[in-house]
Structure formats: C-alpha cells, structure tokens
C-alpha cells in the first residue's frame, strides 16, 4: 500500500514537470525563432513479485509478476521544426528557411570564446558598423579584405565580426546595402557602384537537440550536438537553409497542441492525487481495524 503512495507522488512530480514545459512553450508563443520543447515520460523500476519461468515437459511456464513503482521524466527535447516566416520589410531582419544557425560572438569574451548559435535574425548595424543581434553580439562571417578586388570565401576560411562599411580602397560613401539568400552582403555607394563587403556564415549540427539553451534566443555548442563545419560555410549549401532578408522566423509553438498537453497534465495531476487520497483512505481503514 505504501508503494501506491510513492507511485502517486512520482506521477504528481512528473506531470508538474510536463506542465512547466507547456507553460514555457506558451510563454514563448511570440518569441522570435523559439523552438517548442516536448516532455517525454518513462516508467521507473518494477518490483519483481514472481520471475518468469520456462516451461518444461511436465511444468507449465509462467510470465511472471511485476509491479511498477512509478513514472519519471525521460527527456525534454527541443522541436527544431520550421517556424512560419513573417515579412517585416527591414533589410537587416533575416530568417533561415531550412535548417542551420547563424553564428554570433560576444565581443567582451576572450579571444576564441563567447561563440553562440541562433535562429533569431532580428539584426541591426551598431554605431561601429558591426552587424549585431539584439544582445549586441556580432554576427560572424567572412569580411572582404579588399573591396576593390573582392575575395570570395572558401569553405573553412576563418570567420570574424562582420562590418558593413567601405574600406580604405573605396572613395565613395555607402547609400544602402542588401543581403542575398546566399549570405552575401552587397553595398551600394553614392557613385552608383555595388560591391560585396562581407559574407554571412552559418553552421549546422547532426544532433540539434544536443545544443544547450542559454537564454536570449541563443544556443551553446556541446559535444553531443556534433557541429558539422569548421570556419566559414555558405548558406543554402550542403543542407543548410537559405537566408530570407526582410523576414523573421516566428515561434513554432502550436497552441492547439500545447492546450491539449495542458489538459493532459491537469488530468494526470488529478488522477495521481486521487491515487494518493485513495491509498490514504485504505490505510486509514487498516488502522481502524484495531479498536
């Protein structure tokens, strides 16, 4: 009888964790490029009352008797399905159509550190002409060293902070710039010329669910994620999605699914709490046998 109490408690705890996951998904229904999470359950240990036995010429076999001892949380995984793209008309807003991540770097971090990955492409150009995200982290890519003779990056070239401005070889001033689906950034000068100034880098992982969420729409690499490429890699190649300028990827949270999961969590909590109260009533009856 005590076992049923502990099984009920494990059910309460696990369904509360499910409700926490659902609540977080609903809280981020309008967060740019947010990926919904999914909670999966697993049964815990089982008490073997009678082990299975093999049948023989004169003996019948049995399947055994096992009593489960509750439930636990198996995993909470991120669902990296494509979110819908919303047009914004802002040329620095970038959405990824397909798989892959933008690479950003914290400029205050030591050299070689502070690298994160994101799908939230609400970028802008800061006062120093760096292309940055909403956290002020600088977008990584390949910077054209000489705009008078633009260099096309090769896969694996070192990436760096992207600057959108004319270099010393140019005499004109920037009028506007645009970003192509391949990640190439074109700058138009007041003399009418159009020149490439930088190339946005992207990367991908064989196991996206192995990435570590660190908040602020950022992911941190872990050994479980298994990054595919080193250095620069062009968007819209090798399974990486294309860039859509003037769009933002919305959250992939589905309200219908989340409200259904909320009902499941609520009913699971109610059922497990009823298990506990029923076990308590039975124990009370046993105690009342001696009067």
Q: Is the pLDDT of residue 243 over 90?
A: yes
Task: Quote the crossing angle between the two packed helices 255-287 and 2-27, to the nearest 10°.
Answer: 160
Distance between CA 64 and CA 290 in Å, rounded? 35
The predicted model gives 187-201 an average pLDDT of: 94
Q: Is the pLDDT of residue 181 over 70?
A: yes
The predicted model gives 122-126 an average pLDDT of: 97
The predicted model gives 203-220 an average pLDDT of: 96
- Are 62 and 127 members of one domain? no
- Are 64 and 95 members of one domain? no
- Are 190 and 62 members of one domain? no
Distance between CA 182 and CA 6 in Å, rounded? 56
Q: Is the pLDDT of residue 51 over 80?
A: yes
- Are 194 and 56 members of one domain? no
pLDDT above 70 coverage of the chain, percent: 99
What are the pLDDT digits (tens) for 244-268? Answer: 999 999 999 999 999 999 999 999 9
pLDDT of residue 1: 63
The predicted model gives 123-151 an average pLDDT of: 95
Q: Name residues whose C-beta falls within 8 Å of residue 46's C-beta, 6 or more positions apart in sequence.
A: 66, 67, 68, 69
Contact predicate 137/116, CB 8 Å: yes
Q: How confident is the model at residue 153 (pLDDT cuts 50, 70, 90)?
A: very high
- Are 259 and 193 members of one domain? no
- Are 156 and 206 members of one domain? yes
The DSSP secondary structure of 153-206, one letter per residue, reads: P-TTPPPEE-B-S--TT--S-EEEEEE-TTSEEEEEETTS-EEEEEEE-EE-BS
What are the pLDDT digits (tens) for 72-107? Answer: 999 999 999 999 999 999 999 999 999 999 999 999
- Are 98 and 241 members of one domain? yes
- Are 223 and 206 members of one domain? yes
- Are 207 and 268 members of one domain? no
- Are 100 and 191 members of one domain? yes
Identify the domain containing residue 42 by its residue range: 2-80+253-287
The structural domain count of the chain equals 2
Q: What is the enclosing helix (H) or strand (E) of 21? A: helix 2-27
- Please state, as a whole number, how many other Cβ atoms lie within 10 Å of the Cβ of residue 31: 15
The predicted model gives 153-164 an average pLDDT of: 95
pLDDT of residue 149: 87
Please state the pTM of the whole predicted model.
0.91
- Are 138 and 154 members of one domain? yes
Average pLDDT of the chain?
Answer: 94
Q: How confident is the model at residue 290 (pLDDT cuts 50, 70, 90)?
A: confident
- Are 217 and 184 members of one domain? yes
């Amino acid at each position: 009888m005590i076992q049923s109490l502990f099984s009920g408690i494990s059910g309460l705890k696990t369904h509360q964790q499910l409700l926490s996951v659902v609540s977080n998904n609903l809280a981020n229904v309008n967060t740019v490029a947010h990926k919904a999470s999914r909670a999966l359950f697993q049964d815990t240990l089982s008490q073997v009352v009678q082990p299975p036995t093999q049948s023989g010429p004169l003996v019948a076999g049995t399947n055994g008797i096992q009593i489960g001892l509750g439930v636990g949380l198996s995993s909470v995984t991120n669902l990296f399905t494509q979110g819908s793209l919303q047009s914004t008309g802002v040329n620095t807003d970038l959405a990824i159509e397909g798989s892959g991540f933008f690479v950003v770097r914290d400029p205050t971090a030591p050299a070689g550190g502070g690298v994160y990955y994101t799908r939230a492409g609400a970028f802008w150009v800061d006062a120093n002409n760096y292309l940055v995200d909403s956290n002020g982290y600088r977008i990584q890519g390949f910077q054209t060293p000489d705009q008078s003779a633009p260099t096309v990056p090769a896969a694996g070239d070192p990436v760096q902070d992207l600057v959108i401005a004319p270099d010393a070889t140019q005499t004109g001033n920037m009028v506007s710039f645009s970003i192509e689906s391949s990640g190439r950034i074109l700058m138009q000068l007041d003399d009418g010329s159009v020149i490439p100034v930088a190339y946005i880098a992207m990367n991908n992982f064989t196991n996206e669910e192995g990435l570590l969420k660190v908040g602020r729409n950022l992911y941190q690499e872990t050994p479980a994620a298994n990054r595919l490429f080193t250095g620069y890699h062009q968007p819209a190649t090798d399974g990486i999605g294309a860039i859509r300028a003037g769009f933002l990827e919305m959250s992939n949270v589905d309200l219908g699914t989340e409200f259904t999961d909320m009902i499941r969590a609520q009913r699971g909590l109610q059922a497990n709490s009823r298990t506990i109260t029923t076990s308590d009533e039975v124990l009370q009856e046993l105690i009342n046998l001696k009067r």
